[in-house]
Amino acid sequence: MPENKTDLKETTREEMAYEPYTIAMGPQHPATHGVLKLDLELDGETILDCKPTVGFLHRGVEKLAENMSYAQTLPLTDRLDYIASMANNVAYSIAVEKLLGIEVPLRAKYIRTIVMEMARLTGHLLWLATHALDIGAMTVFLYCFRERENLLDMFEEICGARLTTSYTCIGGVRQDVTGHFLESLYSFTEDFPSKIAEYETLIDKNRIWLKRTQGVGVVSAEDAVSLGLTGPTLRGSGVEYDVRKHMPYDAYPYVDFEVPVGSKGDVYDRYRCRMEEMHQSNSIIRQCIEALPKGPIRAPDAPDLVMPYARQKRVVADATFASGVIKLMEDTEHFIEGDVYVSAEVPKGELGFYFVSDGRGVPYRMHIRSPSYIHIGALPFLCKGQMVADVIAIIGSVDVVLGECDR
Amino acid sequence: MESLEIAKKIQEKYPDEVVSISETRGQVSVILTKDRIVEILRWLHDDPTFQFNHLADLCGVDYLGKKEVRFEVVYNLYSIPLRHSIRIRAQVPEDDCSIESVTGIWMGANWHERECYDLFGIEFMNHPDLRRILLPEGWEGHPLRKDYPLDGGGKNWSGYDEVVEKAKKLSQYDFYGIYQDPTKKTGLEDAREQD
C-alpha cells in the first residue's frame, strides 16, 4: 500500500530497532504458479528485498535443440508455456520459416491466427482463474475453467491433444480444420463476450478485489520498458507495444483489432488489459473464421520439414530410421548461413527465437527469449516496499509460467 | 529507419570498433569488438534518431573452431517509438572471457547476463549480482559451450549425489510396508525402539 511505501523510505535499515528477517516463499507455494522460490527480506510485513530463485525446471531445451533437426525441436516448444502451447508452436514455426525464407499459404496463416488467439484465450482464462483464486475469489476459478475446457476440447478435435499440441509444422499446419470445428468455435465466440461480462460482475465491482489490486505493484512506463517487460504487463503501464502490430506475422495484417493499454501500471490495469484483450481475441477469431480462404495448408517448398521423414522414404538404400534422420540433419539444400531473431506475441508477452545457422539442418544455436523469465527478473523491482500479501497479487498480475522461464 | 542505414551510421561513428556488417533475410547484424560496447549501446539507447529502448534479447554464442574469436554476445535491440531494430554482436575472445555489463542502460539485462554467464561462462564486469541462475551453485562447466558433452560427461552433479544418499538412507525404513506384510516392523516402530 502506498502509505507503507512512504513509511519505508523514512526508516533506513540502520535505524530499525531489530534485524530484518528472511522467509522463503516457495518453491512449493501454491500461489507462485510453479516451482518459483522467493527469498523475502521483511520488516514486519513490508518487503525490503526480494530474491527470486529459478531453474528448478531447467531441462536444457537450447542444448537439446542444437542436437536435433528443426522439425524435431517443435514438440519441445509445447513444454515451454504449457498452458498455451499452440502459441509457442506458431512462434517457433514463424522463426524457422524466416530462416528458411518459406512463404506459408494463406489458409494456413488464418488457421494459425485462429489457434494462436484460442491459445491466448486459454492462457488468459487460466491466468484470471488462478489470479482471482490467489486473491481470494474462488468462484471465478470455476467459471474460467468451464470455458477453458471448451477450448481445450476444440484443440483436441483439430490435433488430438489438449495441452501438448504440436499442431503447426514448419511451412504450415499439420492438419486442416474441419467444418464441425469451425462451427463449434464460431458458436463459442458468440457466447464468449457474455461469459467475460459474467467474470466482470463477479470481481470488477468487488471492493475487496479493488482494494487488493488498485495502486499495488505500480511500475512506470519508462521503468517497464527498461525492465524488458512485454505483453499485457507492459501495456498496463501505457506503452503500446504489441508484436502483432509492430512486426505483424501470419494473418494479423488482415484482421482488424485494437491493442488495449492501461495508464497507471498497477495490478488492476494489467488485469483490465487482459480482460479487454480477451474481447479482441474473440473478435479476431470471428474475423478469421469469416474470411478463412480455401487452399493448401502447407508450403510446397519445404517438403522435408513438413513431414520430417519423407526424405527417409526416398533414400531406400539405407532406410533405417536413424540414418534417415541423420541425413535430414545434414541437409544443406534448404538452409543458409546466418542468424535471425523472430518474435511473436504469446499470452505472456514477446516470445522470441534467435537462431544461428551454419547451413546444416540443425540449429547451430537456438536461444529462447521467454517473457516469463524477464518478468520474474522484474519481480524484485515490483515487490520492493509492498506487503507480503501483495506479492501474491503481483506474481499473478505479471503472469508467469515456470516451464517457459526455466526452459 | 532501415536497419542497414543504422549499421552504416554506427560504422561511420566507430570505424575502429566495427568488424563487419552482415545481413540474413533482411535482418542486419553489426559485429563489434567488445572494448567500447557500453559506450556504443548507450549512444544507440539515448540518441533521439535511434531510441533503442527495448532490449529484446541478449544471449551468447559459442563459435568453437568456426571463427577466430570464440564467443559472441548478441544484443537484439528494438525501438518501440520508432519501430526499427538492429542486432549488435560483440566478439569476446576465449583468453579474455569478459565483457562490460549493460545493466546500467537496460535494467532487464540483469537476468539475461546472468544466464549468459551461467551457460557460457562469459563474465560481465560491473554486474550487480553475477551468480548462476538456471543451474545450481557448484555446477561444473558451462553447458552451452560446444565442448560440453550433451550427456554432461557422465558425471553427476554433487547435489544430486547427496539427494540419492539421503534417499537411500530413508529407504531402509519401510513406512508403507505394513500394508503388504502386517508382521513386518514399520519404520516408525524401528525408530521408537532406537529411542
Amino acid A304: pLDDT:
56
CB contact under 8 A, B59 and A63: no
CB contact under 8 A, B62 and A365: yes
CATH class assigned to A103-301+370-406: mainly alpha
Q: What is the pLDDT of residues B103-146, one digit of tens each?
A: 888 888 889 999 999 888 898 888 888 888 888 887 888 888 88
Amino acid B182: pLDDT:
57
| Complex-level ipTM beyond the 0.85 threshold | no
Determine which of A94-98, A106-110, A143-147, A308-312 has the lowest per-residue pLDDT on average: A308-312
Short-list A344, A248, A254, A347, CA closest to A292: A254
- Nearest-CB residue to B24 (from A241, A340, A407): A340
Amino acid A1: pLDDT:
45
Distance of CA A135 to the CA centre of its chain: 22
CA dist A125 and A144 (Å) reads 5
pLDDT more than 90, % of chain A: 11
Chain B: nearest CA to A136, how far in angstroms?
31
In contact, A269 and A190? CB cutoff 8 Å: no
A113: confidence class by pLDDT, cuts 50, 70, 90: very high
B96: confidence class by pLDDT, cuts 50, 70, 90: confident
Is 80 exceeded by the pLDDT of residue A215?
yes
CB contact under 8 A, A367 and B53: no
Chain A: nearest CA to B27, how far in angstroms?
7
Amino acid A317: pLDDT:
45
Q: Distances from the Cα of A182 to the Cαs of A117, A156, A178, A197, A293, in angstroms?
A: 14, 13, 7, 24, 13
- Nearest-CB residue to A377 (from B62, B66, B111): B111
Domain B3-137 has CATH 3.40.50.720: no
Using an 8 Å CB-CB cutoff, list residues of chain A that contact chain B. 54-55, 58, 60, 62-64, 67, 98-99, 101, 223, 225-229, 239, 241, 246, 336-341, 343, 350, 352, 354, 356, 358, 364-365, 367, 369, 373-374, 376-378, 381, 406-407
More confident residue, A158 or A19: A158
Short-list B114, B123, B112, B118, CA closest to B145: B118
- Answer positive or negative: Cα dihedral of A170, A365, B43, B127: positive
Helix (H) / strand (E) element for A23: namely strand A21-25
- The mean pLDDT of chain A is 83
Sequence spans of domains, chain B: 3-137
A187: confidence class by pLDDT, cuts 50, 70, 90: very high
Q: What is the pLDDT of residues A313-348, one digit of tens each?
A: 555 445 555 555 566 666 666 678 888 999 999 998
pLDDT more than 70, % of chain A: 87
Chain B: nearest CA to A95, how far in angstroms?
11
Q: Enter the C-alpha cell of residue B183.
A: 508382521
Amino acid A204: pLDDT:
84
Sequence spans of domains, chain A: 103-301+370-406
Is 60 exceeded by the pLDDT of residue A263?
yes
Q: What is the pLDDT of residues B26-55, one digit of tens each?
A: 888 889 888 888 888 888 888 888 888 888
Q: Which of B53, B107, B122 should be substituted to probe chain A, the one whose Cβ sees the most A Cβ atoms within 10 Å?
A: B107
Q: What is the pLDDT of residues A277-304, one digit of tens each?
A: 999 999 999 998 998 888 888 877 765 5
